[in-house]
Amino acid sequence: MAEKVGIVGAGTMGHGIAELCAISGYDVVLADVGHEILEKAMEKIRWSIGKLESSRALVENPGIILSRIRTTTELRELAGSKYIIEAVKEKIEVKRQVLRKLDSLMGPECIFFSNTSTIPITELASMTGREEIFAGLHFSNPPVKNPLVEVIRGKKTSARTVGEARSFAISLGKEVIVVDKDLPGFLVNRLNDRLFTEALLMLGEGVTFREIDALLRFRMNFSMGVFELMDFVGIDTVLNAKTEMIGHGFNTSPSEKLSGLVEKGMLGMKTGKGFYKYQKPSVYSRPLIQPSGRMFRVNPVRLFATVINETAWMIRNKAASPDDIEKAMLLAMNWPEGPLSIADRLGIDNIVGELNSLHSSTGESRYIPDSLLLEKQRHGDNGLLSGKGFREWPFASEDIGPVKFQRIDSFALITLNRPEKLNSLSEELWSGIRIALEKALQDPDIRSAIITGAGRAFSAGDDIQMMRSWKGSADAKRWLDKYASPLIDLLASFPKPLISAVNGVAFGGGAEINLLFDVVVAADSAVFSFSESLIGAMPPIASSFGIAVTGRRLLPYLLTGDWMAPEKAKELGLVDVVTDDEMTLMVAMEYANRLSRAAPLSIQSIKSVANLHRTGVQPEARFSQNELIILSSSEDFAEGQEAFLSKRKPVWAGR
């Protein structure tokens, strides 16, 4: 004989849990205060089971499953249940009345579970005489499809009851996490509130909700934006959860924005309007969220700092294990990565810095960095860029002369490391970049390479001292044949994606090599200049590859050596993304992360075709290099180098 489960509350969660239990073979009694409520619940259950049958997700006949569900308005008909699941409104007085009545009707062995999303289990259990056999069993919406269940231990919940809750949830086909501290919001809703709260506060900092959602969707690979999610859940539901959590001591911020929307009846998808507008109330549709350049102005560190701080607090206080926290947000909220992985990607040092800044400006105690974060920062365990944070990452580092080569996760980070010379391209630097790229090419686990500069420059161009030392065209040809051409040829034919993070000046050759990269991310402080004509030389890459890419629009800059702001470089097609200085490398790493999710063979094919266009201008490239060789023996070339080093205006002879 099937075991009996009593469920009180036939709303969205209650009828979903009832359907799930019946599908899993339990006899279900679903109770609520009115027959009309129960009939609507059964209509939704029948509709859902029909959808599951049409998608061949059921192993039994729908009629058999539906026969296991009985409805009632009398709580006494739940007598004999092995488990009671309370799923009534998130109102403490309603729950108190229901739980006290149930406690008087059920046998002493009946285990009580509450599906509350915010109210502490200890408080609910104290309303009954069975605190040891009372636990939280929080299903995520929709219960039939969402794979996660949180089991929450109250202060007096026995280990046996926690085990029963786990076993029951597993019998329903669910993944289970255990929250060992009875906290307002438990795990998922607690972290959700941190994300919701900071997103709402950012609206007052000059950021729009569309920009924040675009950041999440298109930069961080989230399936839904945070404002899109609040509309989907119901803005009144989000506000009620926040209010309950604040009432039970959770240190979060009230939201006038949410209160204002609720007062106007703008509750999200169910009313046809919330943050976004929808075609019809209560009909599921996705709002139009489009990527834009503005999304690269939104700092994810600002958005996630308190989420990660809360996560650290929960780990340190043994509220939940690191693995369970990761699993909870992956499964319940469909995040692309858990909060600990996000912390490591953003950088724990960056998180601590942001929290300190927010605490300094607001005085709010929730921004005080947790001691676990401070400890990791103190030990240099800052995440991805150090190889270790909350988890260990694939990491290796070596110096190749003035080039630092790091293998980080799925990408190589190649740093031009002559900051005292503004990373000017010496022979050793040309050679070091080539060797580093060859190492990246030989490593099958490296999917892409990022190139950036140390200090306040990407690269100020070719080393003038080196060029001044040339005695004539033979020296220039030797430099091209031994150092420059091998790197240019490798960049033009490189089979893996190349990303540059341009910080500060990119002059001469430092600007030119960006024309051979696949993705160029530039900081606001970046300045581009093809300045060779100002020192008696010429830009061999820009005059061949560059003209092929941009057409004559680049020519005025090659002829004059004029400076180019990053937005202008983007307009001309030299730059793909312009962002704040502190986010330049972060955005480049986001590209590397997204590239790692793409099919390797597809990337290889795309690169093969793209490289045909680059190698197709090799005759022009060779011609332009020969022009540089010819110029190197001219008086004007020598004058240009000497004038630059002497910091004076050159006097051209025209020969």
Across 277-284, average pLDDT: 87
Per-residue pLDDT band for 1 (boundaries 50, 70, 90) equals low
Instruction: Tell me whether the omega of the peptide bond preceding residue 142 falls within 30 degrees of 0, making it cis.
Output: yes
Angle between helices 485-493 and 618-631 (to 10 degrees): 160
CA distances from 314 to 152, 186, 188, 344, 485 (A): 14, 10, 12, 17, 55
Neighbour count for residue 127 (Cβ, 10 Å) = 18
CA 338 to chain centre: 9
Among 86, 123, 131, 150, the active-site one is 150
Confidence at residue 471, expressed as pLDDT on a 0 to 100 scale: 86
Contact (Cβ atoms closer than 8 angstroms) between residue 202 and residue 260: no
More confidently predicted of 109 and 282: 109
**Considering 81, 189, 459, 544, which one is annotated as catalytic?**
189
Query: Would the pTM of this model clear 0.95, i.e. be above it?
Result: no
Distance between CA 205 and CA 397 in Å, rounded? 39
Is the model's pLDDT at 550 over the cut of 90? no
Domains of the chain: 4-179 (3.40.50.720), 188-378 (1.10.1040.50), 395-583+595-644 (3.90.226.10)
pLDDT mean across residues, the chain: 95
**DSSP 8-state secondary structure symbol assigned to residue 421:** G
In the annotation, is 117 catalytic? yes
% the chain with pLDDT above 70? 100
Report d(CA 266, CA 276) in Å as an integer: 10
Angle at CA 244, nearest 5°, toward 71 and 95?
30
138 is catalytic: yes
DSSP letter (8 states) at residue 205: G
pLDDT recorded at residue 504: 94
The identity of residue 396, as a single letter, is A
Task: Name residue 520's beta-bridge partners.
Answer: 500
Kindly report, residue by residue over 210-262, the tens digit of the pLDDT.
999 999 999 999 999 999 999 999 999 999 999 989 998 999 999 999 999 99
* Mean pLDDT, residues 376-392 taken together: 97
User: How confident is the model over 444-470, as pLDDT tens digits?
Assistant: 999 999 999 999 999 999 998 898 888
Q: What is the pLDDT of residue 356?
A: 98
Say what the pLDDT of residue 316 is.
97
- Interacting residues of 613 by C-beta distance below 8 A, sequence separation 6+: 548
At residue 251, the pLDDT reads 94
- Answer for the pair 175, 331: CB distance below 8 angstroms, yes or no: yes
Cβ 311 vs Cβ 191: under 8 Å: yes
Q: Are 7 and 87 in contact (CB under 8 A)?
A: yes
Catalytic residue (one of 19, 123, 138, 529): 138
Question: CA-to-CA distance for 609 and 60, rounded, in angstroms?
Answer: 51
The reported pLDDT for the residue numbered 482 is 94
**189 annotated active-site:** yes
Measured N-to-C along each axis, helices 235-247 and 256-263 cross at an angle, to the nearest 10 degrees, of 130
CB atoms within 10 A of CB 572: 17
pLDDT at 508 over 80: yes
Evaluate whether 141 touches 232 at the Cβ level (below 8 Å): no
Separation between Cα atoms, residue 528 and residue 505, nearest integer Å: 6
Residue 481, classed as helix, strand or coil, is helix
pLDDT tens digits along 326-343: 999 999 999 999 999 999
> Strand order in 527-529's β-sheet?
457-459, 505-507, 527-529
Q: What is the average per-residue pLDDT within 4-23?
A: 96
Annotated catalytic residue, options 48, 81, 114, 117? 117
Q: Rounded to an integer, what distance in angstroms lies between the CA atom of residue 347 and that of residue 361?
A: 21
Write the DSSP symbol of residue 379. T
Whether residue 90 has pLDDT greater than 90: no
Look at residue 39 in the predicted model and tell me its pLDDT. 96
Q: What is the pLDDT of residue 615?
A: 81
